[in-house]
Amino acid sequence: MCSTESNTEPQPTSSDPALLLELKTRRPPSLLDQAGCETWSVDFSPDGTWFAWSMGHGIVWVVAWPLDSEEGQDGETDRADKSFSCGHPVWGLAFGPRPPRSAAAAAHPTKPSKGPKGKSTLLLATGLENGVIKVWNVLTGNAVFDLHGHEGVVRNLVFPQNGSLKLISSSRDKTLRIWNLAHKGKKVQVLSGHKDWISCCSVSPDCSMIASVGRFDRMVCLWSLRSYTFIRNLRGGTNKKLCLLSSCSFSPDGAVLATAAFSGSSWWIDLWDPYTAEKLATLADYFEDYGQNQISAIQFSPDGLHLAIVTDDRALRIWEPGEKHMTMQTKRDQDSSGLCCNYHPQGGVIATGTRNGHVRFWRTPRTVPSLCHLCRSIMRHSVSTFQIEALPLPKRILEYLTYRNIPERLKTCCSSDEEDWES
């Protein structure tokens, strides 16, 4: 079921200089701050012209981005707000498929792909609490088909970046599934190995690996997306016995995997080399209120220079790996209740979802990448750590290309308590 009747209202930005806009849902007072209102997932379309979020109570809302845009460049696309009633709470969602990087695609970056009958197609997959995945055509508002197989909450959905019709899902039933949407999901690969709920999954940019983190089993698993086999377990990224893992994210070149975990008195992020399983750096934060500051989500920026962090005490932090202090952090707010985040494909803006079903859009720092960083990113996208190590390179260059150039004093650092970021 799709509706285009507006049920959201943009709110003026607060005193926080980084907050661009907040979308709030209209709900009866009896439903405010109740279970079922949460925004568990947000996503931008691959070309950045649409934005979707799960606004609670089984509803997914889709709006054109930027919010003041009225029609697509083709003059035909309906840019009105759309809502999809999924019937069950929505925990994960993802736009797809991602368009292939071709000359034609580059010439028309906002032109939607065409379906088999020449009609415009933009898919949106939604993962439900009952284990079903519903796939929608955003531009027509029609449900395309349902995917059945998971026996628990579908927590996370990811489309690879190569434009294929593969969909990767992770669930509380302890499995990941790879669905081939070209065959309406009838050809399924099941990856088993986790001992408990899977919190999050991420696909490497070259589409060779899947990373998944188990919330309670403290496992960080790497899987081959080519052979559908288990590669290795990074052992949860910590020696602490009592902790929960919440999120993971590959860097845009695939050379670094970030994982997030928390315990009763701290949270931390580990940076890993997914090829060698070497820990490259750790960012940690400690707090006095036991159990009151979990870390919910992390994501690398599209340029790979920054890592976004969503926690209970701050709506958003931006960290440059290897730096001791935050590049940006919002004001302290114990009621921020952040659950998820997602960068716009072109960067500069990030969206965060909250427990009350609202969405906030934040302006993020823009940095001109150095020539060294650009060269490393291009090389590491297709060259593994083992291949780099086999090259006759000076030690300093080798360390830079393998992200081992982080100073020893910064390999374990604490989140700063410095003053809040201001423009």
pLDDT tens digits for range 99-148? 444 444 444 444 445 554 445 689 999 999 999 999 999 988 899 999 99
pLDDT beyond 50 at 294: yes
Q: What does residue 95 show for φ and ψ, rounded to 5 degrees? A: -80, 150
- Where does the pLDDT of residue 54 fall: very low under 50, low under 70, confident under 90, or very high at 90 and above? very high
Q: What does residue 10 show for φ and ψ, rounded to 5 degrees? A: -65, 140
Average pLDDT for 306-332: 89
DSSP for 217-233? T--EEEEETTT--EEEE
Report strand pairing: 278-286 vs 412-414. parallel
| CA 111 – CA 131 distance, rounded (Å) | 33
| Integer CA distances (angstroms), 316 to 140, 231, 341, 420, in order | 34, 33, 9, 11
- In this prediction, residue 334 carries a pLDDT of 66
What one-letter code names the amino acid at 359? V
pLDDT beyond 50 at 285: yes
The structure tokens listed for 91 are 């925990």
pLDDT beyond 60 at 357: yes
Identify the three-state secondary structure at position 147. strand
Taken in order of first residue, the domains within the chain and their CATH numbers are 19-68+79-100+120-411 (2.130.10.10)
Lowest mean pLDDT among 18-22, 334-338, 340-344: 334-338
Lowest mean pLDDT among 41-45, 89-93, 403-407: 403-407
More confident residue, 81 or 104: 81
- In this prediction, residue 423 carries a pLDDT of 33
Q: What share of the chain is helix, strand, coil (3-state, %, to 5)?
A: 10, 40, 50
pLDDT beyond 90 at 208: yes
| CA 151 – CA 131 distance, rounded (Å) | 5
pLDDT beyond 70 at 241: no
Average pLDDT for 408-422: 54
Of all helices (H) and strands (E), which one includes residue 282?
Answer: strand 278-286
| CA 311 – CA 287 distance, rounded (Å) | 12
- In this prediction, residue 33 carries a pLDDT of 63
Average pLDDT for 364-377: 93
Sequence-distant (6+) residues with CB within 8 A of 276 are 385, 386
Average pLDDT for 203-230: 94
Tell me which residue of 25, 76, 81 sits closest to 55, measured CA to CA: 25
Total count of residues recorded for the chain: 423
| CA 119 – CA 144 distance, rounded (Å) | 13
DSSP at 403 = T
- In this prediction, residue 106 carries a pLDDT of 41
Q: In sequence order, what are the beta bridge partners of 25?
A: 8
| CA 245 – CA 218 distance, rounded (Å) | 6
pLDDT beyond 80 at 278: yes
In the chain, the percentage of residues whose pLDDT exceeds 90 is 58
Average pLDDT for 307-321: 91
Quote the mean pLDDT of the chain. Answer: 84
- In this prediction, residue 126 carries a pLDDT of 97
